[in-house]
Structure 1
Amino acid sequence: MSHRVGALLGRYPALRLGLLIAAPLTWLVAVYVVALAALLVTALWQVDSFTGDLERTVSLENLKTVLTGELYRTVTLRTVGVAALVTVIDVLIALPIAFYMAKVATPRRRRILLIAVLTPLWASYLVKAFAWRATLSDGGLLEWLGTPIGLQSPGYGLSAVVMTQAYIWLPYVILPIFAGLERVPDSLLEASGDLGGGPVHTLRWVVLPLLVPAVIAGSIFSFSLTLGDYITVNIVGGTSQMLGNLVFVNAGAANNLPLAATIALIPIVVMLGYLAAVRRTGALDNL
């Protein structure tokens, strides 16, 4: 019997591949899809305001609270704005770095730069966040370096959140863009130069159109990770709040798990909307 199964798998590679990915797909469905379904169901429950007990009765009260509350609209706009700004900053920084790594640097220098990009990923998230807290504090490194030229540290707040998260997620943007640039044939760049195209013209009309899928991939990482982050805000955000903080507070101190689940649906909906908009451009088809 086992011989027949082996022969069948050897004859049909697609069947063998399907069996190999069946377990990861099952795990994906069990962990993510079921968890999202449970999150949606929990958002429809209520917490008794007197006893604090969870009432498993279907109600749209939490959705109404989140959709009509001024606090949630303000925090949602702030979170989306910060995530978009972090993404733009990371893309602008990642493009020249990735281009130099892929098209200009020698193989030895490329390996060194690749290690330099990957090294921050080995450090703890908390270590990096607290390092920026120390850097941005009064009398910290940033203020010490800026004093001779009259610059001051921005302190703790949204500016510190943007700077910290842009640093933390930068490798996740550089690597997809670097991989995308490696797939751009050097012959296209040479042909553009032979036809009289300068560096700016070649970058604008040859490289960037081919690089859109890679930029989209990097933006998905930085945008989604910033959208759901709350630890950085707690460390360097001062009194600022983002959606992740509201979820954390309601799931913990406020003991209102249904409201926390409802708030957690906001970044999911925003991310689904972003992916749908990107999909309409056709960029995802080339990833």
Structure 2
Amino acid sequence: MSAVIANHQSGPLRGLSNLLYRRSTLYLLLLLTPPLIWFGVVYIGSLFALLWQSFYTFDDFTMAVTPDLTLANYGALFNPANYDIILRTLTMAIAVSLASAVLAFPIAYYMARFASPKEKAFFYIAVMLPMWASYIVKAYAWTVILAKGGIFYWMIQQLHLEGLLGSLLTVPGLGGNTLSTSHLGRFLVFTYIWLPFMILPIQASLERLPPSLLQASADLGARPRQTFIQVILPLAFPGVVAGSIFTFSLTLGDFIIPQLVGPSGLFIGTMVYVQQGSVGNIPLAAAFTLVPIVLIAIYLSIAKRLGAFDAL
């Protein structure tokens, strides 16, 4: 019996185990190789294949794509109509990120600093619960809520704010006659959909605030407003930036909400969908996919400088 155990302990598996134990780098390499191959071949490879097609030529007459390399697709991005699409999408992404931060901070602050364990559990469920529902169902539900005769208009009538709503809908750039056909309605839906992605990073950053800092600020004579502006907000700001990474990038690439809510103005996501699916102009659609990649890369570099990755 002891001979069997000795042979088992000195077998090939034991030798491999000892080798991996002595060379931790090799062990780590074996663990990372399968996911890195998947990530490199399937994700990065398909992305580069798509970007390579952005240099192909699309024949408007025959509706055919030929492998003749050209930069005309990238030049088309700066046409007034296409540039307007990029600017409209970027403006919406920034506006949604700012609004989400303003709405999320008080909720996250209460969750982190004042909520009891039971209240915190309730808030976690309340924040996460909308994310369990179907994304398309929520978008369709908002088209009903924002339509004339819907719940939102009923609340406006009960509060006698019809004049204010009418003045908002007539502001140049907001577009539409009702909220369901205006950029304002589209902005409301975007903010609702992505708000949980802003609340959780801010709440996590506020949880890591040492209570001793707040006590020290009070002991030094700072008022609550001064403590908030000079202590809490700077330390929680990386969490705000971390949340804005989600709201900014998700708004930038979304194509469902711009189709269901708001006027007919295209966004980058809908432009890619239309060009690739309906028109068949894959090279131009591929060129448009480079725009959010570049914008998000710039945004991530700024977020890294602001310490957002430390709050994730």
1:206 aligns with 2:231: yes
Which residue is equivalent to 1:111? 121
- Return the offset for 1:286: 6.3
Worse-superposed segment, 172-181 or 47-56: 47-56
Which residue is equivalent to 2:37? 26
**What is the aligned counterpart of 1:70 among 64, 80, 92?**
80
Q: Distance in 1 between matches of 2:284 and 2:21?
A: 52
- Return the offset for 1:36: 2.2
**Runs of 5+ consecutive residues of structure 2 not aligned to the other structure:** 1-11, 163-177
TM-score where L is the length of structure 2: 0.86
Worse-superposed segment, 39-48 or 83-92: 39-48
Q: Distance in 1 between matches of 2:70 and 2:25?
A: 46
- Return the offset for 1:173: 0.8
Which residue is equivalent to 1:233? 258
1:43 aligns with 2:54: yes
Which residue is equivalent to 1:8? 19
Q: Is the 8 A contact 2:241 2:306 kept in 1?
A: no
TM-score where L is the length of structure 1: 0.93
Runs of 4 or more, structure 1, over 6 Å off, are none
Mark the CA change 1:21 to 1:199 in structure 2 (over 3 Å): closer, same or farther: farther
**1:90-149 per-position Cα deviation (integer Å, ceiling 9, x unaligned):** 011111111110111011111111111111110010111111111100100000111022
1:182 aligns with 2:182: no
Which residue is equivalent to 2:182? 157
Q: Is the 8 A contact 1:86 1:223 kept in 2?
A: yes
| C-alpha RMSD of the superposition | 1.8
Identity fraction in percent: 41
- Return the offset for 1:188: 1.4
Q: Is the 8 A contact 2:204 2:239 kept in 1?
A: yes
Q: Distance in 1 between matches of 2:33 and 2:150?
A: 52
**Runs of 5+ consecutive residues of structure 1 not aligned to the other structure:** none
Which residue is equivalent to 2:221? 196
Q: Distance in 2 between matches of 1:105 and 1:98?
A: 10
Q: Count how many residue pairs are aligned between Structure 1 and Structure 2.
A: 286
* Paired letter, 1:209: P
Which residue is equivalent to 1:140? 150
1:94 aligns with 2:119: no
Look up the SS of the partner of 1:238 in the other structure: coil
Q: Is the 8 A contact 2:180 2:186 kept in 1?
A: no
Q: Distance in 1 between matches of 2:206 and 2:306?
A: 20
Which residue is equivalent to 1:129? 139
**What is the aligned counterpart of 1:82 among 68, 92, 102?**
92
